[in-house]
Amino acid sequence: MSPKRLEDMYDAVIVGAGAAGLSAALGLLRSPEITELKEQGVDPKILVVSKLQPLRSHTGSAEGGIAASLGNVESDDWHWHYYDTIKGGDWLVDQDAAKLLAEYAPQTVINLERQGVAFSRTEDGHIAQRRFGGHTREFGGAPVKRAAYAADRIGHQILHALWQQCVAAGVEFAEEWYVTDLVLADDGKQAAGIVAFDTHSGKIQAIHARNVLLATGGAGRLFHTTSNSWDLTGDGMALTLAAGLQLEDIEFVQFHPTGLAHTGILLSEAARAEGGILRNADGEPFMERYAPEHKDLAARDVVSRSIMAEIDAGRGVADPKDPDGPKDCVWLDMTGIDPERMKEVLPQVVETIEQYANLDPAKDLVPIKPTAHYTMGGIPITTDGEVYRWADGAVQVVDGLFAAGECSCVSVHGANRLGGNSLLDACLFGTRAGQTMAARIAENPVDSPMADDSADDMLTDAADQAADSRKAELDELLAGPIDDSDDGVPTANPYQLMAQLGSVMEQALAVRCTAQTIDTALTQINGDITPVADTLRTHDKTAAFNQEVTAIWEVRHLIELAEAMLHASESRQESRGSMQRLDFPERDDEHFLAHSMVADDGSVSFKPVHITDYPPKKREY
C-alpha cells in the first residue's frame, strides 16, 4: 500500500511497522486526547512509513516469549522481574525505566491477548509461561516461569495481531518506502519530517510532519553471522547520527548463544528452557562450571562467553556439514526432550534444524555458535519516548522527535538484554511514545480550524531542502558505475561491501574485543571500505524497483554506525555485560558505571546511570 497523495503536513509520521511502530500508532489513536479530538470532528493525520510490507518486519522472527510476572504457572512478582532486568543488564540499566517495564509488563501482555494474540495455554486456560535465561524468583533465587509464549512463534502472533488492529483503525501505510533523511529544523531542536524513497515509483518524497517517531529496528547486518533479517541495517540509528544527534551505549551488542552453525539462524532460548543442554566436544554439560545455579539458562552474555571459552580451550566441535572445517561450535543436545512435547512447543526450532542442518533434534546433537542478535544501545530516549541530546551535563529534548523499539535506548537492557524483554520493551514503550505524541498533537492538530500553523513553513522548507539534496544524489547514483577495474568491468557493489564490513566487524567485536582489534577495524573501514562506498553507483539507470539504490544507502548507513560503535567500544575500557574487553577484563564501576553517548564525529561523552533501588554488586548466575 502507498498513500494516494501525501498531505501538506502530518501530525505524526512513524518510521517502521514492527511491534514498536504499530504499538505507537495504536497508542496514539486510542489515547483519550485523540478520542476527544475525533469526537470534535478532527481526525489526526498519521502516516506509517516502512521499508518492508509490515508483516515482513523482524518482530515476526521472535520465537521464545514475552516476559511478564503473570504468575500463571508459578508464583511471581514484578519486583523480582525488575531486579532481574537490572542484574541482567550488569547494572547499566536506568532503574526508573526498568521499574516501568516490569510493573506494566502484565498489563501489556493482557492487552496483547485482548487484541488477538493467541498465546499457548495452561490446562486451566490461562496464558502459558516458561523459563527464560536470567529470570528468577526471590531476587536472584531459583529460575521462574515468566515468559508468556505462543509455541515458539510469539513474534509472529504479536506482529499479525497489531497489524490487524492498525488496519481496523484505518492507519495509512507507505509500504516499501525507504527513509533516507531525518529532517530537523530550528538548529536541530525540532523535528520537521523525513525524506523517503518510494521504491515503486523511484521518486524521492519530502514528508512534512510536526512529530516523527523512529521504530526502525536493530543493526544485526553489521556482523557476518546474525540472526537478524536482511533488512536490519541500522537505518534509524544512522539517520540520527547524520542529523547531528547521539547514540547511547551502542557498543553493547548481544550475541545469542544458540545460532545454528554457520547460518546465524536463531534456535530459540526456549529450546534450553524446555530441557536442551549445551555440551562440548567431550560431551560434558559445561555450563555447570560457568553458572553453577542457572547453568544453560544463565544470562545470554554469560552463555555466549562460556561457549567461546570452550572453543578457545580446544573443546569445540566442527559443523557436521563441514567435518574438516574449524572446530568453532558446540553441541545443543535436545534428545532429552520428549519428541511429542518438542513438536508441540518448539515446532519452528525443529523445522529449522531439519531443513537447514538435515538433523533430527530428537536423536542428533545440533551444532551451534553465538550469532549477532540484538542492539542494546541506540537512540537515547526518555521513558515517554522523547529523543534527546546529552549536552553540558543535561538532557535536551528534541521537540517532536520520538523513538521506540530496538533502534532506541531507554536503557532497560543496559549492557545485556534478558530474553523476553525485547518484545515487552517494543510494545510497552512504543505505546507510551504514541500516547506522548497524542498529547502533543491534541495541543495543536493540523486539521483543527483553530490550528496555529505559523511554524509549518520552517518545517516544510527544511524537509524540501533535504529532499532536493537527496534527489541530486539519486541522479548521481543512477548515472552509472565508475569504472574501477583493469578490464573495464566495474567491481564495486554494495552487497560485496556489506559482506566485507560484516567480516571486519565480526573479527573486531564478536563476543570479545581489544584495543588492537578495534583499531584494526577502524583502519580497514577508513582505508578499504569507506572510499569504495563513496564511489558506489547503480548498475542500472532505472530508479523504480532498483534494489541497488537502497542497498547503497544501507551500506553507507552501516559504515557510519560501525564507526560509531567502534569509537564507543574503544572508550569503554572495562568488561561489562555483552562487552568483553580482553585487555580490560574487569568491570570498573568507578569510571564506567555510565552510559556512553557517541556522536557522528566519534566523540564520546558519558551520562550517569539512574540508580534508585538496587546499588551495583557482583553479578553471578
Question: How is residue 418 annotated by DSSP?
Answer: P
Q: Rounded to an integer, what distance in angstroms lies between the CA atom of residue 166 and that of residue 22?
A: 7
Question: C-alpha cell of 615?
Answer: 546499588
Q: What is the 3-state secondary structure (H, E, C) of 56-81?
A: HCHHHHCCCCEECCCCCCCCCCHHHH
Closest Cα partner for 368 from 291, 276, 294, 506? 276
| From 130, 221, 300, 587, the catalytic residue | 300
Cβ–Cβ contacts within 10 Å for residue 270, how many?
Answer: 25
Question: C-alpha cell of 53?
Answer: 510490507
Burial 391-409 (b: 16+ CB within 10 A, else e): eeeeeeebbbbbbbbbbbb
Question: What secondary structure does DSSP assign to 5-43, as a single string?
Answer: S--SSBSEEEE--SHHHHHHHHHHHTSHHHHHHHHTT--
Three-class DSSP category at 135: strand
Beta carbons of 180 and 171 less than 8 angstroms apart: no
Q: Rounded to an integer, what distance in angstroms lies between the CA atom of residue 69 and that of residue 51?
A: 34
183 pairs with which residues across the strands? 193
Parallel, antiparallel or unpaired: strands 408-409 and 394-403: unpaired
Question: C-alpha cell of 298?
Answer: 544463565
Beta carbons of 37 and 442 less than 8 angstroms apart: yes
Question: C-alpha cell of 606?
Answer: 558519558
Closest Cα partner for 125 from 136, 135, 107, 113? 113
Residue 300 falls in the annotated catalytic set: yes
Residue 186, C-beta contacts closer than 8 angstroms, at least 6 positions apart: 458
Read off φ and ψ for residue 457, nearest 5 degrees.
Answer: -60, -40
Q: Rounded to an integer, what distance in angstroms lies between the CA atom of residue 241 and that of residue 411?
A: 18
Question: C-alpha cell of 484?
Answer: 574501477
Closest Cα partner for 89 from 565, 460, 364, 416? 416
Cβ–Cβ contacts within 10 Å for residue 79, how many?
Answer: 15
Angle between helices 515-524 and 547-571 (to 10 degrees): 150
Q: Rounded to an integer, what distance in angstroms lies between the CA atom of residue 4 and that of residue 7?
A: 10
255 pairs with which residues across the strands? 372
Q: Known catalytic residues?
A: 300
